[in-house]
Amino acid sequence: MAATMATGSTISTDDGDTKNAKATVSLRQFNPDLILGDEIAPSGGSSGTDSRFAAVGHEVFCVRYSPDGQFIAAARGDGDIDVYSATTGNKVYHLAAKPTDPSPTCCIRFRPNTSSSKTRNVMLSVNANGDVKHWHVTSMKCLHTISEDPNQVYALDYRRDGLKFATAGQDYKVRFYDEATKTLQTTLTGGDGRTKAGDSNRV
C-alpha cells in the first residue's frame, strides 16, 4: 500500500485500483501543537491575533476534556488556561491568571454535568500559589477563589455527583470542600513524607 498524507490528498493502492481505496485525508483537524510538559506552539501566527493568546514558552501542566467532549483545556506554567474546540482545534477561550503572580496552574477539572448543576461549563483549577479557582469557561470569568496560602496545591478532583471536591498539595493534607457553599468541610492529615507515608511531589 503506497500513500501520501497531506491535506486534501488521496490514498490509493499500488495496483492502481482506486475504486474503493480513494479517500480524502485531513491532517489539520487539531491545529495547536500541545505537548504535555513542553512548550505550546502558536496556532495561527501573529496576524490579527490578540497577544494574550500567545502561549509560546509556557509549559503545559495539565490537559482535560470537558464532560461533553466539546472542549479541551490546557493549564499553563504561567497560570493561564487555554481552552480549545475539540472539533476544530482552534483556541476559543482564554482564562487569565493574576498578572502579578504567574504561578503554574497544576491541575484542572470540569464540574460534572448533573441535574443539580444549573450552570454548565464550570471549571475548577488549582495553583502553585495556593489558589483554588472556579471559572465559567464560556464567559471567561473567575466565579470564586479559595486561598490555601501558603500551601501549594497540586491536585484536585470532583466527586462524581459534583457536590463535593477535594484538593491536595505541598502540606500533605487532603481538603474536602462543599461545591455549593465553597466552604471547607473536612481535612485529612497524617502523612508527612518523612516519618509517615505521604507525598508532595508536583508530578
Query: Pick from 106, 109, 79: which is nearest to 94 by CA?
Result: 79
Q: Which three cell numbers stand for residue 46?
A: 501573529
Q: Look at 26-35, 93-102, 145-154 and tell me which has the smallest mean pLDDT.
A: 26-35
Q: Which three cell numbers stand for residue 139?
A: 464567559
Using the structure block, give the residue that is written with the C-alpha cell 502558536: 42
Query: Which carries the bigger pLDDT value, residue 138 or residue 195?
Result: 138
DSSP assignment of 157-177 equals: EE-TTSSEEEEEETTS-EEEE
Is residue 33 within 8 Å of 41, Cβ to Cβ? yes
Query: Which carries the bigger pLDDT value, residue 147 or residue 114?
Result: 147
Is residue 166 within 8 Å of 179, Cβ to Cβ? no
Mean of the pLDDT values across residues 47-51?
43
Q: Look at 29-33, 94-98, 139-143 and tell me which has the smallest mean pLDDT.
A: 29-33
Q: In this model, does residue 20 exceed pLDDT 80?
A: no
Q: Hey, is 90 helix, strand or coil?
A: coil
> How far is residue 175 CA from its own chain's centroid?
21
Mark 92-130 as b/e (b = at least 16 C-beta within 10 Å). bbebebeeeebbbbbbbbbbbeeeebeeebbbbbbbbbb
Integer Cα distance of 169 and 174 in angstroms? 8
The percent of residues above 70 in pLDDT, for the chain, comes to 67
pLDDT for the residue numbered 1:
44
Q: In this model, does residue 19 exceed pLDDT 50?
A: no
Q: Look at 25-34, 83-92, 133-142, 147-156 and tell me which has the smallest mean pLDDT.
A: 25-34
Integer Cα distance of 81 and 53 in angstroms? 10
| pLDDT digit string, tens, across residues 166-185 | 999 999 899 999 999 999 99
Q: In this model, does residue 37 exceed pLDDT 80?
A: no
Q: In this model, does residue 158 exceed pLDDT 90?
A: yes
pLDDT for the residue numbered 21:
40
Single pTM value for the model: 0.69
| pLDDT digit string, tens, across residues 129-144 | 999 999 999 999 999 9
Is residue 125 within 8 Å of 113, Cβ to Cβ? no
